[in-house]
Amino acid sequence: MAISTYTVTGMTCGHCVASVQKEIGKIDGVTGVDVDLASGRVQVESAAPLTDAAVAAAVDEAGYQVAS
């Protein structure tokens, strides 16, 4: 199992959190997505390591950005 942490900008409420969780959750192998709205920290648990590009694309799909 792998855990990666990202900072996502632009989330303002529970709906934003749910959107990010939903899109990241669609990535193959993702088993859990934990979002802290206040800090924008997103912790992703997956069966195998994910590429940052896949996570960034999912966050973008939800309408937000991964801070670099």
Q: Using CB under 5 A, list all residues that contact Cu ion.
A: 12-13, 15-16
Q: How far is the CB of 27 from Cu ion (least distance, A)?
A: 21
Nearer to Cu ion among residue 44 and residue 62 (C-beta): 62
Supply the minimum distance, in Å, between the C-beta of residue 33 and Cu ion: 16
Nearer CB in complex with Cu ion: 5/12: 12
Question: Rounded CA gap, 4 and 52, in Å?
Answer: 9
Q: Could you tell me which residues are beta bridge partners of residue 65?
A: 9
Integer Cα distance of 42 and 40 in angstroms: 6
